[in-house]
Structure 1
Amino acid sequence: MTEEKKQSKGHKLKQRWQMPDTYVIIFFVVVLAALMTYVVPLGQFEMHEVAYVQDGAEKSRTVLDPDTFQLVMTEEGETVREGIRLFEPFGGVGLLNYTFEGLVTGSKWGTAVGIIAFILVIGGAFGIILKTGAVENGILAMIKRTKGRESLAIPLIFFLFSLGGAVFGMGEEAIPFAMILVPLMIAMGYDAVTGICITYVATQIGFATSWMNPFSLAVAQGVSGLPVLSGAGFRIGLWVFFTALGIGYTYVYAQRIRKDPTKSVSYESDAYYREDFEGRQHIESSFSTGDALVLLTILLGVVWVVWGVMQHEYYIPEIATQFFVMGLVSGIIGVIFRLNNMTVNDIASAFRDGAKELVGAAMVVGMAQGIILVLGGTDPTQGTVLNTILHSMGSAVGHLPPVISAWMMYVFQSVFNFFVVSGSGQAALVMPLMAPLADIVGVTRQVAVLAFQLGDGFTNLIVPTSGCLMGVLGVAKLDWSKWFKFQIKFQAILFTLASVVMVVAVMLGYS
């Protein structure tokens, strides 16, 4: 075979193979989870309440007792393996029920239902805001005024979002911000990936290295019997280092894409925004009083959200309503000032169209939750495959040297985050197991908390079970498989450096 024919054949094979769609990937993971239910026996724990002090007030949380694990047994003394059925009627969970059951799981405070509702309401609210045209006019006006200095926005915005992740556990809040900043980055000549990096990626780097996050770190330390906010100095150093790393990585990537946009994994999907801005640049746009009022509404709304989260611990239901109000007020301004020739009916249609844009992302959140349901759910008191996996992985760590054990704790947390993405929920499940295990293997409990923190935060950037990630990708119109292609390189860097951090923490006796 000639060299030309070999190259032609290789090119055809490359063209023929495509990265599977996110829905396809989740389906095969569900099938794998279903097969595990035929092999892995069911296990369960008992629960108990622990108390800890946070901000001068005593709080309590119900967590599992690691010493109470037991396999579910039949009357004949045999372990139970409940292979999942293909279809389960009357509200049960079967293999083919995973989509519906995943979509209706949880409550308005999180898991699937809450995050799905949050994504749709946020999408609708920003549909109204974008319909006014104020955001696009503001972006174009800003680009004209900052010509030659656009790249300064990348480190500044990344820093602010990382700080938000570190201080108050910013995560879901990145979704609405991405609706503005992703188009902004594309208009500046970058891509959607850059917009995702300076918003969601930045929040999770802050989340992973936080010294005061009340929703994750404080719970993990409280459950582990450590003073809340202890070990802050070391973590602040980590936050500075990893934030600088994220800024540098994003900046270098962004400049490379600006030189050749076709190198971006999001080049095709970015056409939606890119063509719109290119069309508007030939039109003499004026930044009106109405546009200014809409942007002021967004600014005041953001201040309201930050105040609510920090002062009153507002979460998904409150934040969704705040953004709904923001969208409604913007729509009223648009009608009064005739922005983009808006009418009252346009407010309704824009809300509907905005929500429609994120239906795909909302579906992925529910389908990914179906993986957990197939494994039996996350209730420690019920006999599930997931409880057995949790116990087995925890036990495996306990028979290794201290440095290796600490590193394995980090690996374990990274893997387990695929199943339980919620930071506070994961802390309640794994820290009662990891904290006493740290005592046994000869590392400090602070090291165990650090392993949880790094494993939880960094893998939030890539696991398709993260509702926040899928929401941001939906905003950016970017498929998860393409994001994976970009993110896997950065994930490898984060994993390597986090592994080094774990070794250093053990050697320093971090406490």
Structure 2
Amino acid sequence: MKKIDPYTSAVKKKKNIPDSYVILFAMLIIASIATWFIPAGSFERTTESGTAMVVPGSYESLPASPTTPYDFFLSIQSGLIDSASIIFLVLTIGGSFAILDHTGAIQGGIMKLIKKTQDKKYALIVVVSIAFSAAGFIGALQTAVIAFIPIGIIIARAFKLDAVAGVAIIYLGAYAGYTIGGLDPITTGFGQEIAGLPIFSGLWFRFAVYLCILASTIAYLCHYISKVSKDQSKSVLGAIPFPTEVENSHSISDEFTRKHKVILGYFSTCMVGYVVGVFNLGWGLHEMAALFLVISLGTAAIERVPANQYVNLFIKGAQGMLYAALIVGLARAIVVVLENAYVLDTIVNSIAVVLEPLPNVLAALGMYGFNLAFNIIISSASGQAAIVVPVMAPLADTIGLTRQVAVLAYNFGDGFTNIITPTSGILMASIAIGGVPWLKWLKFVIPLLLIWIAIGAVALSTAVAINLGPF
């Protein structure tokens, strides 16, 4: 009987799985075809504080503007241009982490922490998840989460897990908080401002939902990690827990010197400075990219890395992130196609017409379901808020719902499907850094998404029952 090499078998099986680029390109084709069938239309928009928001009841049909072959290929270029800030951020993070990786500071610090926890693997993972979720809850980690994925990979390798666990510890930890966005000015703050609600009102209710989401996420992570720890074949990645490029990109060192402590202290100070800048100075992606340049240069100075070696390390690190960076542009191209054909407003107006005659609870759940689906197309929280909330808030008044319920439906819908939507540059970059194919990630995360959706449905029904108001 012929002996089968499990590694070779897994490699062949992986080759049969469509690459994330192939999947996104197929979705781009489907979106382009859809523009020939979905009527074009648009709401009027007003500009407030630099943001274009729709005027409720102003929807008008427009002449059809379907995507031509010329538009199709041009949309990819436009997607890359529109996503330039994220693309260059990812490349800069790759270069900066290559410098940090060269010093061994992060690896040494994590290994020391792991040794201190010894058999308390789950305690470490719980602490990391809670810390990242708290940062997500205040809106400090929506984009910055990309920068910490390599750390999750290092933790996963140290515990002999897989790349999925490495990405999940960081990404799901952060998004368990971000999905609720209790103190996030971009999601909750902006949505409530559009709806005419006091900013961050209903915080007690959101915090209760956050605790439920966080608990379910930690339980799910620990269950998966337990399975993989006992039997590597239980990994969704099969016999290859870490792709070769990921396996070789981050070394693990046991050494933790005084210089390493200085480097980690410098890195932590810079990241705290960024969080302060986000809330006090309105910093965003550009400032984060600049900050990582500062981190890389400062780290190189502390480590005394020669200039030529710094350049070589930085370029090599950026090259390793090229796959993750360019996939962001292709994901954005799907949105470009739908926006240019003027079909997004048609979708929003159609669902509003359907929801208006429904009973309160069903209408609220309908808003929720629509936002869950709409977020797969428009993964930008502020973009979705600007399109959806101006329509849903007055609709809530009409059908007897509070505007707080309408904003919650937007919040939950926008947040939950962020962990699966292929049009999210943040998600696609995060899993690409870990070398995790989108379909494999989908297989891993769908059960958790269903749990989140169920929690959201119960929470929204409760909010309707208690007539959750502004405070």
Query: Relative to structure 1, is the Cα distance of residues 275 and 42 closer, same or farther in structure 2, using a 3 angstrom cutoff?
Result: closer
Residue 160 of structure 2 aligns to a residue whose secondary structure is: coil
Q: CA deviation at 1:214?
A: 0.7
Match of residue 287 from structure 1: 256
Kept in 2: contact 1:183–1:273 (CA 8 A): no
Match of residue 400 from structure 2: 442
Measure, in 1, the Cα distance between the counterparts of 2:13 and 2:162: 23
- Residues 148-178 of structure 1 deviation map (CA, whole Å, 9 limit, x = unaligned): 1232111111111111111135211111112
Match of residue 491 from structure 1: 449
Q: What amino acid maps onto 2:242 in structure 1?
A: D
- Residues 404-437 of structure 1 deviation map (CA, whole Å, 9 limit, x = unaligned): 1110101111111122211122111110000011
Q: CA deviation at 1:474?
A: 2.2
Q: CA deviation at 1:17?
A: 9.2
Q: What amino acid maps onto 1:83 in structure 2?
A: P
Measure, in 2, the Cα distance between the counterparts of 1:198 and 1:16: 23
Match of residue 30 from structure 2: 32
Q: What amino acid maps onto 1:103 in structure 2?
A: L
Of residues 153, 165, 174 in structure 2, which corresponds to 1:182? 153
**Is structure 2 residue 365 aligned with structure 1 residue 402?**
no
Q: What amino acid maps onto 1:136 in structure 2?
A: Q
Q: How does 1:96-495 map to 2 (within 5 A)?
A: 96-105=73-82, 112-266=83-237, 268=240, 270=242, 272=244, 285-335=254-304, 343-377=306-340, 384-495=342-453
Measure, in 1, the Cα distance between the counterparts of 2:374 and 2:46: 22
- Residues 371-391 of structure 1 deviation map (CA, whole Å, 9 limit, x = unaligned): 1111234xxxxx711221121
- Residues 19-55 of structure 1 deviation map (CA, whole Å, 9 limit, x = unaligned): 32211111111111111121122101112356xxxxx
Of residues 46, 49, 53 in structure 2, which corresponds to 1:48? 46
Residue 46 of structure 2 aligns to a residue whose secondary structure is: strand
Kept in 2: contact 1:215–1:424 (CA 8 A): yes
Measure, in 1, the Cα distance between the counterparts of 2:159 and 2:197: 46
Q: What amino acid maps onto 2:388 in structure 1?
A: V
- Residues 44-99 of structure 1 deviation map (CA, whole Å, 9 limit, x = unaligned): 1112356xxxxxxxx68541102111001xxxxxxx22232112xxxxxx122332
Q: CA deviation at 1:269?
A: 5.2
Q: CA deviation at 1:276?
A: 5.7
Instruction: Give me the TM-score of the superposition, normalised by structure 1.
Output: 0.84
Q: What amino acid maps onto 2:77 in structure 1?
A: F
Measure, in 1, the Cα distance between the counterparts of 2:437 and 2:14: 18
Residue 199 of structure 2 aligns to a residue whose secondary structure is: coil
Q: CA deviation at 1:192?
A: 2.5
Instruction: Give me the TM-score of the superposition, normalised by structure 2.
Output: 0.91
Q: What amino acid maps onto 2:201 in structure 1?
A: S
Q: What amino acid maps onto 1:242 in structure 2?
A: I
Kept in 2: contact 1:186–1:273 (CA 8 A): no
Query: Relative to structure 1, is the Cα distance of residues 256 and 273 closer, same or farther in structure 2, using a 3 angstrom cutoff?
Result: farther
Measure, in 2, the Cα distance between the counterparts of 1:279 and 1:367: 31
Query: Relative to structure 1, is the Cα distance of residues 496 and 64 closer, same or farther in structure 2, using a 3 angstrom cutoff?
Result: same
Tell me whether 342-351 or 427-436 shows the greater mean CA deviation. Answer: 342-351
Q: What amino acid maps onto 2:272 in structure 1?
A: V
Measure, in 1, the Cα distance between the counterparts of 2:245 and 2:262: 23
Give the aligned length. 459
Q: What amino acid maps onto 2:75 in structure 1?
A: Y
Q: CA deviation at 1:115?
A: 0.9
Kept in 2: contact 1:129–1:327 (CA 8 A): yes
Of residues 457, 464, 468 in structure 2, which corresponds to 1:506? 464
Q: How does 1:68-107 map to 2 (within 5 A)?
A: 68-72=58-62, 80-87=63-70, 94-105=71-82
Q: CA deviation at 1:274?
A: 8.5
Measure, in 2, the Cα distance between the counterparts of 1:153 and 1:47: 48
Q: CA deviation at 1:472?
A: 1.3
Q: Find the structure with the greater CA-based Rg.
A: 1
Query: Relative to structure 1, is the Cα distance of residues 232 and 347 closer, same or farther in structure 2, using a 3 angstrom cutoff?
Result: same
- Residues 429-451 of structure 1 deviation map (CA, whole Å, 9 limit, x = unaligned): 11000001111222111111000
Q: Percent identity?
A: 33
Residue 63 of structure 1 aligns to a residue whose secondary structure is: strand
Measure, in 1, the Cα distance between the counterparts of 2:345 and 2:139: 30
Measure, in 1, the Cα distance between the counterparts of 2:85 and 2:278: 17
Q: What amino acid maps onto 1:331 in structure 2?
A: A
Kept in 2: contact 1:187–1:274 (CA 8 A): no
Measure, in 2, the Cα distance between the counterparts of 1:376 and 1:276: 41
**Is structure 2 residue 34 aligned with structure 1 residue 65?**
no
Kept in 2: contact 1:154–1:198 (CA 8 A): yes
C-alpha root-mean-square deviation of aligned residues, in Å?
2.4
Q: CA deviation at 1:453?
A: 0.3
Match of residue 54 from structure 1: none
Higher helix share: 2
Residue 59 of structure 2 aligns to a residue whose secondary structure is: strand
Residue 68 of structure 1 aligns to a residue whose secondary structure is: coil
